[in-house]
Structure 1
């Protein structure tokens, strides 16, 4: 009976995954096409200003500084363009359908929804879209990456052993913050997080704790100025400290910005 129930649940989840492609293709079209239009408009502006900018740099003898900066801005723009085309075509939904095919997926529990609502806000996420992914193909993935949880679009992928399991609620908050990033900026969050992980050799989580946030606030630094992993670590630590009854005064201005979706 347990086997039959498991098979039925798996089939129901796969049908649900498949249905999300047309649903979100329509539901998210206005937001996704607006993001893409802004990026294309920015690219047109970059083309228009390219030659005058080059002339000014050459005249001022600053080509050595101008060229790397221009190349960096181009690759940033190109990354946005590719991820937004991917989103517009429903790539996240198709990607999740494929990945979920080889794993066990379950929705968030009411306790988990209440937990993340207390951090990000009551309407922070489309909670019904979120899935917790465990087992199957992901057992092999976690064996390769040292049992480190990660988030892909509306999925939080958690190992069944080690310190990043579903029982580790601060980690769940961390990964759901990445889902929050996805809902608010699109798939670009994933590339930005991976870039920082590679660039810093995984040393991209440290934001300085409460003292670092006080210093950041004093110089006008905002939540959106932190990298994607630091953002998720801030909400993770806020939740962890709150549940321990510790002082979170330094976190409150940044959590207010999160709840206002200023990411």
Structure 2
């Protein structure tokens, strides 16, 4: 009977995944089009200002500084353009359908929804869209990456062993923050997080703790100025410290910005 129930639940989840592609394609179309339009407009502006900027740099003898900066801005723009085209075509939904096909997926529990609502806000996420992914193909993935949890679009992928399991609620908060990033900025969050992981050799989580946040606040640094992994670590630590009854005064200005979706 358990096997029959498991098969039925798996089929129901796969049908649900398949239905999310047309649903989100329509529901998210206006937001995704606007993101892409802003990026295209920015690209047009970059083309218009390219030659005048080049002439000024050459005249001032600053080509050595101008060229790397211009190349960096182009690759940042190109990354935005590609991820926004991907989103517009429903790439995240199709990607999740494929990945979920080889794993067990379950919705968030009411306790998990209440937990993340206490950090990000009551209407922070489309909670019904979020899935916790465990087992199957992901057992092999976690064996390869050292049982480190990660988030892909509306999915938080958690190992069944080690320190990043579903029972580790601060980690669940961390990964759901990445889902929050996805809902607010699109798939670009994933590329930005991976870039920082590679660039820093995984040393991209440290934001200085409470003292670091106090210093950041003193110089006008905002939540959106931290990298994607630091952002998720801030909310993770805020939740962890709150549940321990510790002082979170240094975190409050940044959590207010999170809840205002200033990411």
| CA displacement, residues 7-63 of structure 1 (integer Å, 9 cap, x when unaligned) | 000000000000000000000000000000000000000000000000000000000
Q: 1 CA distance for matches of 2:250 and 2:58?
A: 46
| CA displacement, residues 144-182 of structure 1 (integer Å, 9 cap, x when unaligned) | 000000000000000000000000000000000000000
Residue aligned with 1:156, SS: strand
TM-score after normalising by structure 1: 1.00
Residue aligned with 1:128, SS: helix
Structure 1, unaligned runs of 5 or more: none
Q: CA deviation at 1:203?
A: 0.1
| CA displacement, residues 172-209 of structure 1 (integer Å, 9 cap, x when unaligned) | 00000000000000000000000000000000000000
Q: CA deviation at 1:113?
A: 0.1
Q: CA deviation at 1:68?
A: 0.1
RMSD: 0.1
Q: 2 CA distance for matches of 1:32 and 1:61?
A: 41
Q: CA deviation at 1:246?
A: 0.1
Q: 1 CA distance for matches of 2:261 and 2:49?
A: 31
Q: 1 CA distance for matches of 2:62 and 2:145?
A: 43
Q: 2 CA distance for matches of 1:37 and 1:242?
A: 40
Q: 2 CA distance for matches of 1:62 and 1:81?
A: 28
Q: 2 CA distance for matches of 1:60 and 1:241?
A: 52
Residue aligned with 1:84, SS: helix
| CA displacement, residues 119-162 of structure 1 (integer Å, 9 cap, x when unaligned) | 00000000000000000000000000000000000000000000
Structure 2, unaligned runs of 5 or more: none
Q: CA deviation at 1:84?
A: 0.1
Q: 2 CA distance for matches of 1:260 and 1:49?
A: 33
TM-score after normalising by structure 2: 1.00
Residue aligned with 2:106, SS: strand
| CA displacement, residues 213-242 of structure 1 (integer Å, 9 cap, x when unaligned) | 000000000000000000000000000000
Q: 1 CA distance for matches of 2:63 and 2:206?
A: 34
